[in-house]
Amino acid sequence: MQEINKNQIIGINITKVYGNKKKNEAEIVALDNVSFSINKGELVVILGPSGAGKSTLINILGGMENSTSGKYYFFGDDVSEKNEKELADFRKNKIGFIFQFYNLIQSLNAYENVYLAASLLSSSLDSNQILDLVGLKDRKKNFPSQLSGGEQQRVAIARALVKNPDLLLADEPTGALDSKTGSQILDLLYKITKENNKTVIIVTHNKAISVIADRIIMVSDGKIIENITVSNPKKPQDIEW
CA gap 139, 159 in Å, rounded:
14
CA 117 to chain centre: 16
Give me the architecture of the 40-66+84-238 domain, per CATH: 3-Layer(aba) Sandwich (3.40)
Residue 150 exposure: Cα atoms within 13 Å on the Cβ side: 15
The residue among 197 and 138 whose pLDDT is bigger is 138
Strand partners, 14: 34
Q: What is the mean pLDDT of residues 172-187?
A: 89
* Mean pLDDT of the residues in the chain: 93
What pLDDT does residue 2 have? 62
CA gap 21, 84 in Å, rounded:
24
In 3D space, the residue among 210, 215, 153, 158 whose CA is nearest the CA of residue 181 turns out to be 153
- pLDDT band at residue 241 using 50, 70 and 90 as cut-offs: confident
The residue extents of the domains of the chain are 40-66+84-238
Contact 54, 203 (CB under 8 A): yes
What pLDDT does residue 148 have? 95
pLDDT of 1 above 70: no
pLDDT of 151 above 90: yes
Q: Which residues contact 93 (CB under 8 A, 6 or more apart)?
A: 121, 123, 163, 165
pLDDT of 25 above 90: no
